Chain A
Amino acid sequence: MKKNDFEQLVDRQYAALFRFALSLSKSEAEAADLTQQTFFLWASKGHQLRDRSKAKSWLFTTLYREFLGRRRHEGRFPKVELDEVGEEEMSILPNVNALDSATLLQALREVEELFRAPVTLFYLEQFSYQEIADVLEVPIGTVMSRLSRGKAQLRQRLLSKEEALGNKIVSFQSERKEKGHG
């Protein structure tokens, strides 16, 4: 890969990769390190990718693998809870505009690791479920399940933060009616 090509790829993707890493990792320093490591891996192995249009997906996949590898190495891979998403969680939405980015990021980091990656890819890059499946190397059905659960967890965390900040909770009046219908 030519130097200019590499720089262009960095310019196009480094911010999004950093934000993805930031949502996964515990600190800005770790996120920056993950981002840099991803590009270094691209510099040494990216030439093996025949289809250059998949460079973006390759970068996100590689960053995620790198993150998982470090977590496994540290023995911190979390226990996964697959509780059902409560009906209430689906029906009440926090007022995101009343929260700042730092609070959103904090809430995102509190989402279980398994669900956090697809949710971040969905919001950050507006990846389709197929693209998320490609990056995380899981079936489409799993992506939809994790998105559903991850978003529900995120809403819960945001609602908690809203309550802590004294913000108004926006709920749907119509939900009660819907529940009444079964």
Chain B
Amino acid sequence: MDNREARFILSAYRPGGQDASDPRFAEALDQVRRDPILEQWFRDSLTFDTAMTDKLRAMTTPTDLRENILAGLKISRVSDWKSRLAKWAIAAALILSAALGSLIWHNTRPTRLADWQTQALDVISSLVRNESSFDSQSNQPAELIAWLRVNHAPAAQKLPDNLNKLASLGCKTFSSNGISVSVICFMRPDGGLIHLITTNAPAPSARPLKTTPKSAQQGEWATATWREGDRIYMLALEGSRDQLQSYLL
């Protein structure tokens, strides 16, 4: 190894000494010990690097940057979703055309969600990944419910009390095998999201849904499903059933 090669490698050597035992630098450091000229260059180089680090770290940041980041979080979630409407339309068409044979009463199975429920989780995931957007946006759940009713989409008759206290982000509707489904997304106090999915109840079947919420865990999703009047509701969040439980009250 000549001095030029040693200097090339030592350009990546950090001035704080964190790399002293890194074998990739060993030969170059040996060369430094052998050659006083290279040693002088290395010493000056470390001084230069240290001064650069100190100076760059002394640069000030805008005083309101931190607050803007935190304040913009909610806005970002909503606005990013909105920009993906076209993609969602295509994706939803593909998903729905491929989803055949789902039956609403299948959701009575204890550990397996019905197709409309799985599709609802897909729709929500799509929103979270910024691949689709809300049909309507408001931080007032009542306004979203009103929008759903005006548009003849399934709308909750009454929200669980603890859910009603949360700010909403928006709602979205989709169709699963000809059955209308709606989703309303809420912002939880801890910064996470929780979603209420509503659909019209089918004709009475041999295995009717109970009015008591029935919980299930599917991957990262915790869900609770119940029937109330002519509506079927599913509450869902990415987390545990325990986290979900408090919103069913």
**A residues in contact (CB < 8 Å) with B:** 1-4, 6-7, 10-11, 14-15, 18-19, 22-23, 28, 32, 35-37, 39-40, 43-45, 47, 87, 90-91, 93-94, 96-97, 99-101, 104-105, 108, 120, 122-124, 126, 128-129, 140, 143-145, 147-148, 151, 154-155, 170, 172, 174-175, 177-178
Contact = CB atoms under 8 A, between A and B. Distances in A.
A122 B69 contact: no
B12 A122 contact: yes
A4 to B, nearest CB: 8
B11 interface: yes
A126 B16 contact: yes
B68 A45 contact: no
Contact of B61 (A3, A18, A151): A18
A170 B38 CA distance: 16
A128 B9 CA distance: 12
A94 B22 CA distance: 28
Given A144-B9, A147-B11, 10 more contacts: A3-B190, A3-B191, A10-B70, A96-B51, A101-B56, A124-B56, A128-B22, A174-B37, A177-B37, A178-B38
Contact of B76 (A19, A43, A93, A94): A43
Nearest to B188: A3
B126 to A, nearest CB: 12
A104 B48 CA distance: 12
A93 B73 contact: no
Nearest to B74: A43
B91 to A, nearest CB: 17
B96 interface: no
B24 to A, nearest CB: 8
Contact of B56 (A7, A37, A123, A172): A123
B53 A3 contact: no
A3 B188 CA distance: 10
Contact of A10 (B22, B51, B66, B77): B66
B77 A36 contact: no
B40 A14 contact: no
A175 B41 CA distance: 8
B14 interface: yes
A99 B238 CA distance: 51
A128 B11 CA distance: 11
Interface of A is mostly: helix
Interface of B: 3-4, 7-9, 11-12, 14-16, 18-19, 22, 24, 36-38, 40-41, 44-45, 48-49, 51-53, 55-59, 61-62, 65-66, 68-70, 72-73, 76-77, 80, 128-130, 189-192, 238
Contact of B18 (A14, A104, A105, A126): A126
A118 to B, nearest CB: 9
A6 B174 CA distance: 32
Nearest to A36: B69
Contact of A39 (B7, B24, B51, B73): B73
A144 B8 contact: yes
B55 A126 contact: no
A172 B44 contact: yes
Given A19-B61, A101-B59, A93 B191 contact: no
Given A35-B69, A36-B72, A105 B59 contact: yes
